[in-house]
Amino acid sequence: MNADILNLLRDPAGVPFYPVVFQGLYILTWALHALFVFLSIGSLGLSLYGTYKQKDDETWKIITPHLLQTGKLSVSLLIVLGVAPLLFTQVIYDPNWYTINTLSGLWVVIFIYTLLVGYSMYYWYYYANKKGSSSSKLIGVISFCLLVFAGLLMHVFSVQAIQPEKWMQWYAPNGTVDTSGLTFNPETIRFLFLMSLSIPAVGLFLQNYSDFLKSTKKFSESFLTKTREIGTKIAISGFVISFILFITWSFQINKLADIYSILIIVFTLLMIVLSNKMKNSYLTSLLFIVFLLVISGFREYLRFNIMNNFGYNIYEYPLNIEWASISMFVLTFLSLGGVGVTFIATMAWKVGKSNGYFDASKDKTVTLMANSLLWILSTWCIVYFAWGFYILFKNSL
Ligand code: HEM
């Protein structure tokens, strides 16, 4: 495989906007995908421990179903937020992404079913735990393993995509074409490092959970203090594990002395201190999101350098600016996405903070947002279809 072939594999239509913008959006959206990957795996993992403890421990009896609920919602968010980086990858690194989807085609299909069965079993686990069924633990463990396996597959696609020098060898080992679609070459330490971030994610979540509920009168002071302590312990030990794994990984790929790796190492140490000392846990969580952005940037930094050294430079991708689709994207993102997410988040916040029944129709802010969203959605639908039909008829008539 050489750079000429890679460049030929690019979309002849070019990219609709400057590649650097897609690269930035990739970094941002992958960090958000990762946030919910770590929160779901962390909550699900910890809830499994909770199922053993909840019988004779009051704290775990309360936390376990809440962790289960958090993980369940996070899986749906990680799926939605996974689509965005997938699209951006396909725009600027399409030769890489599609080659891997061919070499590991069967794994790609297996990924879909793993996710489908893993997530369905999560719901089973959720209801079984609610009913107090003894089989819930086993179902939960299977669901956990399937979701982690889905992550392993995503990891395999990611790391294989940045090794174009090995593609021919995987495609035709010893000169014989392998059409099985079963190419599978993980980079164990990288995967372990990434997945280890699930531990601090759930630790910080428990700190937030405790701080959030403090202002309500739903739970006792001692329960909230104990939950925060558990969260702090988990967050600190998780960051220590991630720290060791990151050093091992960066050493393995010969990047330990790289300025970017040093930044991550220092940031991890800072997170260890902050998760122990910081009173305001929302701030620590905000910094954790920044931390994930840095990790996401590091992944892209590695990929960009590898591909650039290979002769494939995304900044040289043929450009064919399409103002119409760009404006539609930005307007949708800001109006529908912005107002929609703010509406749901505001409502969820207020429901959690209220002591008892929350009547959204009596809340001025929530009602205003709900009405605005309806108007925006209706207008969006009209513009979307009118524009679509206009382009369709303009091109075909
Ligand atoms: C439980 C399910 C999932 C888990 C645990 C998971 C986990 C991960 C992990 C750990 C990575 C980083 C791999 C690496 O850099 O070595 C990753 C990358 C990624 N994931 Fe997921 N993921 C899941 C589902 C999804 C879904 C459903 C989508 C899309 C709809 C998705 C889209 C992506 C994308 C686009 C990347 C980056 C690929 C690249 O450009 O290198 N993931 N995922």
pLDDT in tens, 266-276: 999 999 999 99
Measured distance CA(284)–CA(281) in Å, rounded: 5
- Residue 114 buriedness (CB in 10 A; 0-12 / 13-18 / 19+): buried
Q: What is the pLDDT of residues 279-320, one digit of tens each?
A: 999 999 999 999 999 999 999 999 999 999 999 999 999 999
Ligand 1 nearest-atom number relative to CA 85: 35
Question: Can you tell me the distance from the alpha carbon of 191 to that of 196, in angstroms, rounded to the nearest whole number?
Answer: 8
Q: How far is the CA of 154 from the centre of ligand 1 (A)?
A: 5
- 282, 139: one domain: yes
Residue 213's pLDDT is what? 94
Per-residue burial over 337-353, b if 16 or more Cβ lie within 10 Å, else e, is eebeeebeebbeeeeee
The dihedrals phi and psi of 319, each to the nearest 5 degrees, come to: -110, 135
The Å distance, Cα 298 to ligand 1 centre, comes to 15
State the pLDDT at residue 397.
78
> CA torsion sign, 43 to 44 to 49 to 51?
positive
Both 384 and 298 in one domain: the answer is no
Chosen domain end from 321, 341, 368: 321
Split at pLDDT 50, 70, 90, the class of 219 is very high
Residues 171 and 248 occupy one common structural domain: yes
CA of 367 from ligand 1 middle (Å) equals 36
Give residue 386's domain range.
322-397
Q: Is the pLDDT of residue 1 over 80?
A: no
Q: pLDDT at residue 218 above 90?
A: no
| Range 340-362 average pLDDT | 91
Domains held by the chain: number: 2
The more confidently predicted of residues 395 and 155 is 155
Rounded Cα distance between 345 and 227, Å, is 23
Per-residue pLDDT, averaged over 80-98, amounts to 96
**Rounded to a whole number, what is the distance in angstroms from the first to the last CA of the chain?**
43
Same structural domain, 209 and 276 = yes
Of the chain, the percentage scoring pLDDT greater than 70 comes to: 100
Q: With 0-12 CB in 10 A as exposed, 13-18 as middle and 19+ as buried, what is 177?
A: exposed
Which of helix, strand or coil describes residue 15? strand
98 and 64 within one domain: yes
Residue at which a domain ends, from 321, 352, 367: 321
What residue ranges line ligand 1, CB within 6 angstroms? Answer: 30, 33, 37, 78-79, 82-83, 85-86, 89, 115, 147, 150-151, 154-155, 158-159, 161, 190-191, 194, 299
| Whether residue 201 is found in the same domain as residue 122 | yes
Predicted confidence band at 179 (pLDDT cuts at 50, 70, 90)? very high
Residues 203 and 238 in one domain: yes
- Taking the centre of ligand 1 as the mean of its atom positions, its distance from the CA of residue 71, in whole angstroms, is 16
Over 90: is that where the pLDDT of 29 sits? yes
| Same domain assignment for residues 205 and 317 | yes
With 0-12 CB in 10 A as exposed, 13-18 as middle and 19+ as buried, what is 309?
A: exposed
> Do 57 and 109 belong together in one domain?
yes
Torsion angle, CA of 242/245/246/251, rounded to 10 degrees? Answer: 170
Single residue among 289, 321, 353 that ends a domain in this structure: 321
Distance CA 336, CA 328 (A): 11
Distance CA 261, CA 359 (A): 49
Do 346 and 388 share a domain, yes or no?
yes
CA distance 362 to 241: 47
Ligand 1 atom nearest 162 alpha carbon = 41
Residues 136 and 206 in one domain: yes
User: In testing the pocket of ligand 1, which one of 27, 28, 33 has its CB within 8 Å of the most ligand atoms?
Assistant: 33
Helices (H), the chain: 3-8, 19-53, 58-92, 94-103, 105-131, 136-161, 164-171, 188-196, 198-214, 221-252, 259-277, 281-310, 323-331, 339-353, 364-396
Q: What mean pLDDT, rounded, does the chain reach?
A: 96
Answer yes or no: do 272 and 362 share one domain. Answer: no
